[in-house]
Chains A and B, each alone.
Chain A
Amino acid sequence: MTDTISRYEQLREIVAEVLELEPEEVTDTGGFIEDYEADSLRAIEILARIEKKYKIEIPQSQLPRMRNLKAVYEVVAQYANWD
C-alpha cells in the first residue's frame, strides 16, 4: 500500500514537471490535454521519463490511454508488473 502511494506520488511529480505545474495542481483525473493544455509531445515526454525512471518499455500505442494521472498509473502498473 505504501509502495502504491509513493509510486503514485512519483508519477504525479513526473507529470507535473513535464506539464510545468506544481504537483498539487495535478489531480488524479484532470485531463492532460483538456485541463492542462498539454500536446502530444508532452505526453511522449511523460512516457519517456517514466520508461527511464522505472526501466520499463511502454508501447506508444498506450499513449491515448494515458490521459490523466490515474490512467498513467494504471498503464505503468501494467507494464512494470506492479501489484
Chain B
Amino acid sequence: MMDHAALRAILPQRSPMLLLDRVVEVVPGERLTAVKAVTGAEPCYRHLPPDAAADDLAYPTALLVESLGQAAAILWFLGRPDERSGRLPLLAGLRDVALTGAAYPGDLVRHEVRLDQILDGVAFAVGEIWVGERRICTVGSLLAVVRPPSSLAVREPEPKERDDDRHHQPVRATA
C-alpha cells in the first residue's frame, strides 16, 4: 500500500490537480489499484448554483479519467523509475472509453489499472473505474507520455523567456 505522501513523492501534480488519495494494491509494472475520495468540497463544485440538481453533482468525466491516468503513471514509474528522470507525465490519449455510471460526493472511486505496453517515454494501459460494485467507466487504451517541463512552460511574450528549442534566437540589443 502507498499512502498519500508516497504518491506525492512520485507524481508531480499538486492540489487541486493531484487526483489520487491512496494506492491499495500494486504489482509494479503490471497492475495497480488506487482510490480517490470524491467530496462536496472539491473545487469542481465551487460554482454550482444553490439549486443544483443531484445530476449536476456527478464528478466531471475529465477529472475522473485524469485520476485514472495518474494511477497509470504511478504504476508506470514504480516499474521503471528511470522513465521520469525529471520529466512530467501527461495523459495523451484515450481509446475505447465507455462511461457506464458516475461518481458523486461521498463516493470512493477505485481505479483498476493494468500496464499493457511500454515504449521509450510512452506507456499504454487499460483501466476500469469503480464505485463499490458499480463499474462506472472502462478505458480500452490509455496513452501516457513523459515530456520535459520546458515543453509545457507557459509561453511568455518576451523572446528571452522562451526556452523551447524552436525559439532559440539571439537576444537583440535594444537602443
> Which residues of A are at the interface with B, using a C-beta cutoff of 8 A?
41, 44-45, 47-48, 51-52, 60
Contacts and interface: CB of A to CB of B under 8 A. Distances in A.
Given A41-B143, A41-B145, A47-B119, 15 more contacts: A41-B92, A41-B93, A44-B119, A44-B122, A44-B143, A45-B93, A45-B143, A48-B117, A48-B119, A48-B122, A48-B124, A51-B117, A51-B119, A60-B119, A60-B120
17 contacts: A41-B92, A41-B93, A41-B143, A41-B145, A44-B122, A44-B143, A45-B93, A45-B143, A47-B119, A48-B119, A48-B122, A48-B124, A51-B117, A51-B119, A52-B117, A60-B119, A60-B120
Contacts of A60: 119-120
A45 B92 CA distance: 11
Contacts of A44: 119, 122, 143
Interface in B82-121: 92-93, 116-117, 119-120
A51 B93 CA distance: 19
Interface string B2-28: 000000000000000000000000000
Contacts, number: 20
Nearest to B141: A45
A41 B95 CA distance: 13
Give 8 nearest A-B pairs by CB, closest first: A44-B122, A48-B117, A41-B92, A60-B120, A48-B119, A52-B117, A48-B124, A41-B93
Contacts of B92: 41
A44 B118 CA distance: 11
A63 to B, nearest CB: 10
A60 B145 CA distance: 14
A52 B141 CA distance: 13
A47 B119 CA distance: 9
A52 B116 CA distance: 9
Nearest to B119: A48
Contacts of A51: 117, 119
Nearest to A61: B120
